[in-house]
A and B are shown apart, each in its own frame.
Chain A
């Protein structure tokens, strides 16, 4: 059976879209409705590696926990600074349709994944038990009894509490009984209360109730209270609900729109919102690739193994500045003269380092050609080759990641050589002429390369240059009929393009739901995009509008199966 949905590469024709500003003048109050079976099926999403670690850290890490206690009389400095060590190997996350958030709804756990989750669970529980044995203050965070009076009964009560919090829902009588039975057996066999706690914690962390997020919905295709609370906390915090949120789910109060709204505001004012935002934009802009950026140091003397890490931090800090600190027009992400650099990036950008030790805010000089995200190493270096720039990769990124337009892969048997530079073709523009003149190539490459050539003033790691092989670089081009002379003008054009803000809205819906947007949801996308525009492109408002929309509580039904 051949069920390929094969996009003919000639389908690039007709990709051009209207870039004119549509007039968004008043808020559309009515959210479109759709029936449950029109949207996606219920989902079972595997925790990402980040989510797994966030939850564990917030539950068990001494440094994190004691920082949350307002008045702590703990003086043991070593304990206060103790961090958990995570085994680096967990089942890897996988992106589907460009998003890890969607991948989490389709991937499984492989046999070696099972082994790694087991190892990780014991690894964590051993550390927790170690802290319990070392510190009464740490012990007191979990148990109702004193450390000296610790017995099976007390351990069972504490572990039941942890189970609820780690499984992120109320647990049933049966589940408590089963857990207690297990603990009793281990206690009898090992004759050690700490071994009992260690194994108890290890099973809680290996359980599918911990490793997966379930959004099954009720008979009406609406999320249950706990599912709603989880969806909210994983969106805003990339982590589990806290006790306050769990209580509101337990009492069903979270179903009340006002309560949901108030909780969203509360959670967006919490420090964990930062890790939620970081997760969203890592996924949107494929920043994970920066962790393993490969550059040839012989070609790029400013390349450094940690360049990718710094580059990611710059991008995330700018996003936090725009969304959290300023709550300003999200589209300035592409045009901002403000940025955040450390010494490494300052050297790369040839600007003074604002701080000798850490990242700090700086304002790019107006005569500098660098602006916003598209002038950052995270984009410029990642969307390049190991030894050169790539007009195609950079252009493709703008099309697919910023404008949500799909460009098919080149046909498999195509000749793709790019000739060496010589006297007649010193710059990339001349060398890729065949992309743009051969009719088979041009149909797609015009869509990518004409944008990508606009960034040629930045080399393969993002350093500014005006010449290549002795010839002056021409960075002019066009984006869907709108011409530009340099990267700065190009960034402004992308930022102004309605498809950019709409793409961000679409990506957010897909990130939140874990599924590819369905046809029936298009109207909702248009509506939400309209709200985004009405709120002057405040990303915080976009989140709130989405969370309080009816769409957020809906899940499909399984009726289309079997």
Chain B
């Protein structure tokens, strides 16, 4: 019995022992970072804090060609757009295309974005907003009934988190400018809640346990205790797991996965942070950003969340973020709008100038986020160059809930893996999963196919790839 449960005394070691632990824990000894290796040799004091790129990027934080990791972001907004004001003018590269009215706010970033238009979410559109959302983010149709539906598989951000998220403190983050339905699922009946409180997010990412690169600081002695506590919890989970039926076993396995993830995170906090030049502790949010007269403070909230997201990428806290600017089916009061967004899409008559204005406003918010990423230098370029930020919505025209002509902007170019300054037009309402597949592969995931039935796709988009 005591064998079943034991305290892993390694959790209680001091800093020097930790480096040994790190060595022994790694299955592949080549994965030890040069910095840690030098540190164990007692040479650390001779190494300047800002290491040359080559010095930084060996081992655990093995970065791609430019020396920086690729980051993925989903920038989601709800209720679609007005297609006639959205689709860019002309096709192709550079001067061959120009931005539409709705996309005007992205003018400063034209050289860093690609717009894909004419793509379609290929799932049956049974439940307005839900079918489209699930089809968009998981690549396949929802299962179940209208009041009892779930997803068939994980969302794309979680496919990425599983494949490339293991080297960062957080495999992924699911954030929101305002409270909304989630866009992130680990699997059936397992969704990731949306974090919307900027202050709580700051505490989580940059609070007591965070250390800037090179910052000596004191490693929180409680981290070891907390890991021991998680060992205890994991054992209880194992005991309970053995008593359950198949369905509940699956549910509990998700819980266990979360505990292991947290334990890994605590272990990582006992190690040295990655040495990224541009990483620094951001300013803490100071306001509570409460709604004013029932209207969310979109601009202020979006800006503070953008700053936190940018720095969490820059500090390699995570490489995968799903960010919901406004949720599917949201009925929020946008600035100057005379009704909630969802109501407007259905009840505003004619060419719906207010709906179009909401879309333009959302693109302004996207531009603000991109600006925060572009403000951070990384190597020769900026953080934005190493990102692929996919901005999209669950429907195209909100009024009809259409799943054709889904809006899709990709910003950043993913460290030279995706084309930029392009408008790629599909005249055949091609499968949107091809865009996702292109992004997944560009991120380094060896994904053979995506989707099922009509949404099944195996090809990426050649025009989008470098």
Contact = CB atoms under 8 A, between A and B. Distances in A.
Interface of A: 1-7, 41-44, 89, 91-92, 94, 96-98, 106-115, 118, 122, 174, 177-178, 181-182, 185-186, 189-190, 195, 199, 202-203, 206-209, 212, 214, 216, 292, 294-298, 303, 305, 385-388, 406, 408-410, 412-420, 516, 558, 561-562
B228 A185 contact: yes
Interface string B187-225: 001111101010010001000000000000000000011
Contacts of B171: 111
Contact of B262 (A111, A207, A562): A111
B278 interface: no
A388 to B, nearest CB: 8
A327 to B, nearest CB: 33
A182 B346 contact: no
A362 B128 CA distance: 43
A4 B12 contact: no
Interface string B92-127: 000000000000000000000000000000001111
Contact of B144 (A4, A208, A385): A4
B225 A297 contact: no
Main secondary structure of the interface of A (DSSP, over half): loop
Interface stretch (B35-43, B337-345, B409-417): B337-345
Contacts of B343: 385-388
A114 B261 contact: yes
> Which of A91, A185, A199 lies at the interface centre, i.e. has the most chain B CB atoms within 10 A of its CB?
A185
Contacts of B142: 4
B1 interface: yes
A218 B85 CA distance: 63
B321 to A, nearest CB: 13
Contact of B347 (A98, A296, A305, A417): A417
B140 to A, nearest CB: 10
B399 A417 contact: yes
Given A1-B452, A112-B174, A386-B339, A294 B232 contact: no
B159 to A, nearest CB: 15
Given A89-B200, A214-B240, A408-B146, A558 B257 contact: no
B453 interface: yes
Given A118-B226, A294-B294, A409-B146, A387 B190 contact: no
A133 B75 CA distance: 48
B191 A413 contact: no
Interface in B340-364: 340, 343, 346-349
Contacts of B461: none
A285 B417 CA distance: 51
A190 B333 contact: no
A336 B224 CA distance: 60
> Which of A43, A98, A208 lies at the interface centre, i.e. has the most chain B CB atoms within 10 A of its CB?
A208
A444 B232 CA distance: 54
Interface stretch (B244-252, B280-288, B425-433): B244-252
B245 A108 contact: no
A513 to B, nearest CB: 15
Contacts of A174: 1
B141 A412 contact: no
Interface string B225-254: 110111011011100100111111001101
A297 B251 contact: no
A343 B186 CA distance: 46
A457 to B, nearest CB: 22
A415 B192 contact: no
Given A112-B174, A292-B179, A561 B228 contact: no
A415 B400 contact: yes
Nearest to A298: B293
B190 to A, nearest CB: 4
A21 to B, nearest CB: 30
A562 B193 CA distance: 31
A136 B2 CA distance: 35
> Which of B4, B200, B248 lies at the interface centre, i.e. has the most chain A CB atoms within 10 A of its CB?
B248
A386 B247 contact: no
A177 B2 CA distance: 8
B262 A118 contact: yes
B143 interface: yes
A208 B240 contact: yes
A182 B236 contact: no
B126 A110 contact: no
A186 B222 CA distance: 10
A185 B5 CA distance: 12
A110 B400 contact: no
A97 B261 CA distance: 31
Given A297-B294, A385-B331, A5 B144 contact: yes
B32 interface: no
> Which of B343, B452, B453 lies at the interface centre, i.e. has the most chain A CB atoms within 10 A of its CB?
B343
Given A4-B144, A387-B339, A409 B255 contact: no
Contacts of B29: none
Contact of B294 (A92, A386, A406): A386
Nearest to A179: B232
A206 B229 contact: yes
B189 A417 contact: no
A303 B295 CA distance: 13
A537 B180 CA distance: 39
B254 A208 contact: no
Contacts of B291: 305
Contacts of B257: 111
A431 to B, nearest CB: 10
Given A97-B148, A387-B340, A108 B186 contact: yes
Given A114-B262, A296-B333, A417-B346, A208 B340 contact: no
Given A92-B193, A110-B254, A111-B258, A294 B236 contact: no
B83 interface: no
A62 B293 CA distance: 38
A89 B190 CA distance: 17
Given A182-B229, A214-B240, 14 more contacts: A98-B147, A111-B192, A111-B258, A181-B2, A186-B228, A208-B252, A209-B240, A216-B243, A305-B291, A385-B339, A408-B146, A416-B346, A417-B349, A420-B349
B319 interface: no
B7 interface: yes
B376 interface: no
Contact of A91 (B193, B225, B233): B193
Nearest to B225: A199
> Which of A4, A108, A387 lies at the interface centre, i.e. has the most chain B CB atoms within 10 A of its CB?
A108
